[in-house]
Structure 1
C-alpha cells in the first residue's frame, strides 16, 4: 500500500479513486490519533516513571535515615547496657557503703555520748573546785582570826612581862604561822579561781559541743533514710535501664526488618522504573512510526485537514527565510550572529532564558512575520523558529512577554521566547532531511500540563548550512 501510494503520488494522482483518497485521509488521521495516544500514554508513563524516581530518591534518603537510626539505636543500646552496668555497680557500692555509714554513725553517736558524759563529769569537777574554793575561803578567815588572836596574845604577854616570855614566843610563832597560812591560802585561792575559770570555759564548750552532738545524732536517722532512698532510686534506675535496653533490642529488630523491606522495595522500584523506561521507549517508537505514517499520508498529496496548515507553514518559512537572507546580503545580520550558539543565560530568569547574537534581529524583524502568520487561522496557536539545539530566539508577541519574577507558571505560557525546548518530535525534525515534516504530540506547558497539538516543521538553510526549523503549531 505504501509503495503504491508513493508511486501514485509521484505520478498521476488522478488515478487515485475518491474512495482511496478518503480512506488514506482517514488513515492519516487515525495515525495522527494513534500517535497522540502513544504520546499521551508515553507522557503518563514518563510521569509515573518520574514519580517512581522521585520516590526512589526519597526511599534512598529514608533508608539512609533508617541506617543512621540503626546506628544511633545501637549506640543507645550500648549506652543503656553501660548505664545498667554502672547502676549495678552503684547499687553494690551503696549497699556496701550503707553498712559502713551506719557503723560510722554508730561510732559518732558513741563519741557524742562520751562527750556528753565528759561534760557532765566536768560539771561535777567544777562543783568540786568551787567547794575547794569555799573551803579555802574558810581557811583564810581562820587564818585571819588566828592572826588577830596572836596579836592579842602578844599584847597581853608584853603587859605581863618576863614571867610569860615563853607564852610570848608561842604567840609570835602562831602569828608567823597564821601569816604563812594566809599567804598559802591566798595562793591556793588564786590557783583555784584560775582553774575554776578554765573549767567553766571547757564545760561551756563541752555543753555547746554536746548540744550539737545531740542535734547531729538526731539527724543520723535522716542520713540513713536518705541512703536507703538513694539505694531504692538506683535500683529503680537499674530496672528502667533494663527495660530501655530490652525495648532497644526490639526497636533494633524492627529497624532491621524495615531496612530489609526498604531495600526490597527499592529494588522492585528500580526494576519497575527500568521496565517503564523500556515501555516508554517502545511507545516512543510507536509514536514515531505513527507520525511517520501521518507524514507519509500528508506527503501523498491527498487533501487532508492538515493541507492548509502545511501550505501556510511553508509559506511562512519562505517569508522568514527571505528576510534572513536579505539581511545577510545587505549586512543587516552577520552569519556569525545567525549561527551563534554561545547561549548566555538571562539573570534571574525562571524558566531559564538565553541570549544569542541572533536574538535582537529576530525580535525586531522575525517576530512581526510570526504574528502575521499566526493570525491567519484561529486554530494556529503560534509560529516560532527553533535552532538546531532547540533554542527559540523569538516567538509571537503573545508568547514573548517580559517574565514576572517568582511566577514560573505564568512565564511558562507567556514568556516562551529565548527558552530552550527539546522534545522527541523537535529532535526528529531537526535531524531529518526533507522539505517539511508533520507531527502529532502533546505540547509540554510545564508543571505537568499538556495539550494535544499538531505541528509542521519546515527546515531552514542559510549559507549552505542547516540552521534549524520554522514551526507552525495548531490545534487538532
Structure 2
C-alpha cells in the first residue's frame, strides 16, 4: 500500500472516530485498540514521516546555512564597498581640489599669456621707438655739424666786421687829429669823426659779444654732438639686446600659450575625472544600498528559514500521520524538580511532559532522568527532544501511585477543559454549517471560500488583506462569534482562521478601522483581516485533531496573562478549511 493510500485510509478512520455533536468533548483517556495491520501501517507511516521530516529539516538547515553564509559574504562585500566608497570620496575631494587648482592655473596661464602678449607688443613699440631715436640722432648730429659750420662762417664774418671796426676806429682817430689841426674849420668834421669812432667802438663790442656767443654755441654744439654720438652708440648697443628680448618674449608668449592650452586640457581632464569619480561614488553608494538590502533580505530569509523549520515541524505534527502523540496534551503549570534544580511544566499528557528550559541543565536526547512533579510525585522520563520551548520528555515505567496521581490530575484537567472544548467544536460546526449553506444556496463557491490569494490592503499598518471570500465571511460569521464572548467573561476571543492563519473576521471590539500612522494602536484594536502564522496560529490552523489545546502568555490590556487556547478544525464539504480558535484567561 502506498504512502498516500495509507494516509487516506487513516484519515478516513480518524474522521469517523471524531466525536459527534452529542458525544464527549475530550479525547478518550487511552487510544482505541488497533489491529496488527493498522499498527504496522501506523509504524510505517510514522517512520516515513520521520524520514521526510529529517530530510526537510536537513534541507532547511542547509538553506539556512547558505543564507547565513550569503549574509556574511554580503556583509563583507558591504565593508569592501564601504572602503571603496570612502576612497572614492577621498578621490572625489582630491579631484575637486585638483579641479580648483587647474582652474586657477588655467586662469593664471591665460593672464600670463595676455601679459606676455602685451610685453611683446611693448617690446615691438620700444624697438620701433629705438630705431626712430637712432635715426633722429643721426639727423641731429648732421644738423649740429651744419650748425658748427654756420658758426664758423659767422665767426669769420664777425672777425671781418671786427677788423673793419678797428680800421674805422683808427681812421676816426686820425680824422679827429686832423680836425683839431684845422681848427674852427674842422669842428664839424671832428664831430662826425667822434660819432664814427663811437660807432666803431660799439661795433667792436658787438662783434666781441657775437664772437663769444658763437664760441659758446660751438662748445654747446660740440657737447651736444658728443652726447648724441654717445646716445647713438648706446642705441646701437641696445639693438642686439632688444632683438634678444623680443625673441625671448615671443618664445615666452608661445610657451605660455601652449601652457594655457595644456592647462585647459588638464582642467577638462580633471573635470572629467571629478565627474567619473562622482559617478563611481554614486555607483558605490547604490551598490552599498543594494548590498544593504541584500543583507536585510538575507537576514529576513534567515529568520524566515528558522520560522519555516518551526512551522514545518508544527504543521507536520498536526497531520494525522505525523502526530506522534498517543494522548492529548493539556497546559498544566506545576513546579518540577529535576537534577537538583527546579522549573515548571508547560503541558502534560498521559504519555509525557514538556518542561520549560532550565538554565544550566544538561540533558541530551535519549537520556533518562528522574523528576518530581508537584502533587504527582517522582517519575522516570526519557528525553525525546530539546527545543526552544523546553525539554520534551516521555514517561517510562510509571509506578502505580504516580500513574494514579497523573491520571487523577489529567482527569481533573480534562473535566475543566470539557466545556471549552465543546464550545470550540460546536462553534466550528456552526461555522462550517453556514458556509455549506451559503454554497448550497449558490451565493458562495468552494473556489472563492478556499481562495488564498491574499491581496494587501494599501495603507494598512500592520498589514491587512482581502480575499474573495472576506465580504461573505464577514456577513456570515460576525453574528456567530459575539455571543460566546458575552456568555463567558473568561473568553478573550472566538474567531475563524483559514489553514494559513488568515483571520477574515475577528470580534467586534478588535475590528475597528485603522488609524493613520498609529501601528501600535492598530495592532491592538484592528486584528481582523490579518495573518497570524506564528507557531500558535499555524498549529491551530493546520491541526486536524478533534481539538487542540495550547497555552501561552499574552498582553491583555496593560498586563501579561497566561492564556489557554482551545481550537477545533473546520471542515467544509469534507475539506479542511481551517479552525475555530477560542481563548480564555487562566
Q: Which structure is higher in strand share? A: 2
TM-score (norm 2): 0.38
Q: Which structure is higher in helix share? A: 1
